[in-house]
Structure 1
Amino acid sequence: MKVLHVITGLAAGGAERQLRDLVAHHRMESEVAVLSNPGVMAGAIRADGIPVHHLGMRGNRDLGVLRPLTRLMREGRFDVVHTHLFRAGLYGRLAARLAGVGTIVATEHSIGVHRFEGRRVTWAVRRLARGCERLGHATIAVSATAADLLHRWGIPRERIEVIPNGLVGQAFAFDSILREATRARLGIRPGAVVVGGMGRLEAGKRFDILIRAMVQVPQAVLMLVGEGPDKLELLKLVHSLGLGHRTVFTGEAADVPALLSAMDVFVAPSREETFGLAVIEALASGLPVLYGACPALEELPRQAAPAARPIVDDPWHLGQAINVLVAAGPSRYPPPAAVRHYDIHHHVDRVETLYTRIRERDDRPRFARLVSGERR
């Protein structure tokens, strides 16, 4: 089978990194179409030998993207279209129907009770999500938590497939040489204790809580990895608290393993997560982790990640928890069972099995068969 993955953008976020690992380990021929903002992950995917098509979409309501996207699907003779993130799910599933693609799958990477891909959840968003979901054959939820939310939005259980994210655990193994090189590049002295956070710089990630907590940890440097709409506000907060001299904003980065090697403690303070891939990557690097929400761990036994601990959502308690880890001294732990549980090969096997099952079922609506010129 030949697979086209359609994604909204290719910045260095969790969904984008997940897509890169998926296509790199596919046993099927695959290509990627990005609607807008190719970002650093487009180059990383191309470096793996996977074609990336940039559609040049100009905004959320740019219906003009449908024509080139549909043409790409027809001319590429793709058997499967797999969309990632909301905008790609809407336009990608519609284009796939118009192109007569036989198997249409979407992955929901970022859904919460209050936030949906950084946006506030509204009645209109839920209704649009339900409507465009019907254009496909199945929706992948990356956790049981995400599946429950999708069902509450009105998507039938039988159309939801729970397939957790996967990662290449060994790719995040601690590297002392990378640690020193990365610290030197970022201007961090070799012996400093580094507290790290990683993710899109937006309100839902709650990095303001982490910044405020660092006031209580005067001996440590804060490293924030990512870009986003709240970056300027977070910079202002850092300087208003007098933390500018010991805070590093790395910006968007594809070298996640190197940045994790440069850290000593990892903190993920967000209240809502669909999976929590960054937490699992940090555990793969051997870091002690403090997290606010992480379905990937919450759905496993506690002993699957003994170096990870949930936190109370306020700066004072978070600062105290960080101080406990800092006082214990820099430590690297063996990758826990949770990392092996979420191995990328398990993810790829289940995704490709889903494609095959849908294709064999051949339950395309009459509309899709007529557009593609097929007859029963």
Structure 2
Amino acid sequence: MAMPFIAHVNTTVYTGGAARTVALLADVLNRSHRAKCDVIIGRGRSDELRSVQSLDPGRIATILNVFAFRLLGSEAPLSRSRWELYLPELQKYDLIHLHNAHGYYLPMGALERILERPCVWTLHDYWLGTGRECYPPRSSTSKASWVSRMAPFYGRGYPVEFVDRSAWRGARLRALVGRHRPALIVPTADMLRRLGELGLEGLDVTVIPHGIFPDSQPEPAWDRDAARHALGIPADDFMVLFAAAQVDHPIKGFRCLAEAIRPIRENSFSLHVAGGRDQASRRLVGNGVTFHGQTDAGRMEMLMAACDLYVSPSYDETFGLTVVEALGQGARVLCSDLPVLREVSQGAASYFPVGDSRALAVLLQESIAEGCEQPSTRLQRARMIRRYYRFGSWASAHLHLYHRVICRGEV
């Protein structure tokens, strides 16, 4: 078959794990010369990625779209005309690969038109099951805490939506998927199981773990000492790292970490925090914490290579990208005892009960007392994780699925 021409569609080009995955996948496929990929985004600009088409209606319109979605339950009212104009352009692609396709930037009518084409849809969250871009409750008793954790204004107690049309959106989305039968991708077996619990059974779903590390790099580019020298971090510090695209996001659990470090002697370790939207988190900890702010991929790689311990106290995840990245740099990892994090870490992390700051404090104190690991231990851990999350196998799995869907559409 000729090299397929693929359009990757996502909300944004930079923010969050889905955006990073889209950028990586498109770049890997383009560089392999096994597929030609364009990236179509709802907002933002990119000077780094090739072939990016932005349908950004502008900052003010984007904010109004989000508020219309949250407060009125409306579907991207200010994006409709842009999508209507752009939809004919999609005819030139052999296949459309949807990623995040939330209603505040991609109108439902445009989504239905896209699904009429050969289509693959990677589910980076549970929007298809819940009708809102967040996590479903893990039990019937956890709904209240789930809603409060997912409040869009970060802990101020507002509901997820003032006009809650999530049930309507979820039902319409599931009807669209049932009618058009796109090939769905999920990154973990845990996500596949949870989608089944939401009633999404009998669909064409493939589990493809994210590719994170180049095949040409079976070992980290940085060792601990070299990364610390480049970053100006003292070699004898026991360095603990926390990272998230939005540090203040309640689901990432920084408050749990802040509570866990309070009883620990300050001069026994140094805490580093990487990520944007960290104003509320800065108020939770003392002046001895280093906040790096929004961090590019290269610097994040150095921070993970430099740290002695990476901590992920998330309340929920669909994949846990930073956990895998930290392990791939050789770092020791403490993370919430979620099935998805046990799955992606391949058993190479240590786990504590979700939200239990006391249990986390005990593990932190034990890790600090043990001190820095031997370089050989870190290298063995990094090699193991990198073998499993290689670009090559990730790209090949996608290409196999693309060809199957394209051939099915030609019958």
Matches within 5 A, 1:232-247: 232-238=279-285, 243-247=286-290
Q: Which residue of 1 aligns with 2:211?
A: 166
Could you tell me how far apart the structure 1 residues matched to 2:105 and 2:41 are?
Answer: 13
Could you tell me how far apart the structure 2 residues matched to 1:65 and 1:154 are?
Answer: 30
**Matched residues, number:** 345
Q: Which residue of 1 aligns with 2:227?
A: 179
Give TM-score scaled by structure 2 length. 0.74
The 10-residue stretch of structure 1 (112-121 or 332-341) with the greater mean CA deviation from structure 2: 112-121
Q: Which residue of 1 aligns with 2:271?
A: 222
Larger RCO: Structure 1 or Structure 2 (Cα < 8 Å, ≥ 6 residues apart)?
A: 1
Counterpart check, 1:56 vs 2:98: no
Q: Out of 106, 116, 122, which is 2:121 matched to?
A: 106
User: Residues 220 and 246 of structure 1 are in contact (CA less than 8 Å); yes or no, is this contact kept in structure 2?
Assistant: no
Could you tell me how far apart the structure 2 residues matched to 1:357 and 1:340 are?
Answer: 26
User: Residues 42 and 55 of structure 2 are in contact (CA less than 8 Å); yes or no, is this contact kept in structure 1?
Assistant: yes
Counterpart check, 1:330 vs 2:372: yes
Could you tell me how far apart the structure 2 residues matched to 1:235 and 1:32 are?
Answer: 35
Q: Which residue of 2 aligns with 1:35?
A: 42
Q: Out of 237, 246, 255, which is 1:192 matched to?
A: 237
Q: Out of 131, 138, 143, which is 2:188 matched to?
A: 143
One-letter code aligned to 2:136: V
Structure 1 30/293 Cα, relative in aligned 2: closer, same or farther at 3 Å?
farther
One-letter code aligned to 1:291: C
Let me know the Cα RMSD of the aligned residues. 3.1
Counterpart check, 1:21 vs 2:24: yes
Give the CA deviation at 1:275: 1.2
Give the CA deviation at 1:23: 1.1
Give the CA deviation at 1:247: 3.3
Q: Out of 164, 168, 172, which is 1:131 matched to?
A: 172
| SS of structure 2 residue aligned to 1:82 | strand
User: Residues 274 and 293 of structure 2 are in contact (CA less than 8 Å); yes or no, is this contact kept in structure 1?
Assistant: yes
CA deviation map 1:247-274 (0-9, x unaligned): 3243243322122122110011112111
Q: Which residue of 1 aligns with 2:326?
A: 282
Could you tell me how far apart the structure 2 residues matched to 1:55 and 1:91 are?
Answer: 10
Q: Out of 358, 379, 383, which is 1:316 matched to?
A: 358
Q: Which residue of 2 aligns with 1:87?
A: 102
Residue ranges of structure 2 left out of the alignment (5+ in a row): 67-74, 127-134, 138-145, 152-158
Q: Which residue of 1 aligns with 2:79?
A: 65
Matches within 5 A, 1:5-16: 5-16=8-19
Could you tell me how far apart the structure 1 residues matched to 2:11 and 2:103 are?
Answer: 5
Give TM-score scaled by structure 1 length. 0.80
Could you tell me how far apart the structure 2 residues matched to 1:340 and 1:224 are?
Answer: 28
Q: Which residue of 2 aligns with 1:339?
A: 386
User: Residues 43 and 54 of structure 2 are in contact (CA less than 8 Å); yes or no, is this contact kept in structure 1?
Assistant: yes
Could you tell me how far apart the structure 2 residues matched to 1:107 and 1:85 are?
Answer: 8
Could you tell me how far apart the structure 2 residues matched to 1:285 and 1:234 are?
Answer: 25
The 10-residue stretch of structure 1 (24-33 or 64-73) with the greater mean CA deviation from structure 2: 64-73
| SS of structure 1 residue aligned to 2:106 | helix
User: Residues 80 and 104 of structure 1 are in contact (CA less than 8 Å); yes or no, is this contact kept in structure 2?
Assistant: yes
CA deviation map 1:177-209 (0-9, x unaligned): 75135532xxx4443221011113200111111
Structure 1 97/359 Cα, relative in aligned 2: closer, same or farther at 3 Å?
farther
Q: Which residue of 2 aligns with 1:248?
A: 291
One-letter code aligned to 1:250: G
The 10-residue stretch of structure 1 (150-159 or 268-277) with the greater mean CA deviation from structure 2: 150-159
Could you tell me how far apart the structure 1 residues matched to 2:329 and 2:338 are?
Answer: 17
Could you tell me how far apart the structure 2 residues matched to 1:100 and 1:314 are?
Answer: 43
One-letter code aligned to 1:143: T
Q: Which residue of 1 aligns with 2:403?
A: 356
Give the CA deviation at 1:121: 7.9
Structure 1 217/67 Cα, relative in aligned 2: closer, same or farther at 3 Å?
farther
Give the CA deviation at 1:153: 2.6
User: Residues 118 and 405 of structure 2 are in contact (CA less than 8 Å); yes or no, is this contact kept in structure 1?
Assistant: yes
Could you tell me how far apart the structure 2 residues matched to 1:12 and 1:160 are?
Answer: 26
User: Residues 79 and 105 of structure 2 are in contact (CA less than 8 Å); yes or no, is this contact kept in structure 1?
Assistant: no
Give the CA deviation at 1:88: 7.1
Structure 1 vs Structure 2: percent identity of aligned residues?
22
| SS of structure 2 residue aligned to 1:34 | strand
Structure 1 64/311 Cα, relative in aligned 2: closer, same or farther at 3 Å?
same
Structure 1 320/266 Cα, relative in aligned 2: closer, same or farther at 3 Å?
same
User: Residues 12 and 254 of structure 1 are in contact (CA less than 8 Å); yes or no, is this contact kept in structure 2?
Assistant: no
CA deviation map 1:24-78 (0-9, x unaligned): 221210011111244xxx344x2xxx21122114123433434434544533611
Q: Which residue of 2 aligns with 1:371?
A: none
User: Residues 21 and 210 of structure 2 are in contact (CA less than 8 Å); yes or no, is this contact kept in structure 1?
Assistant: yes
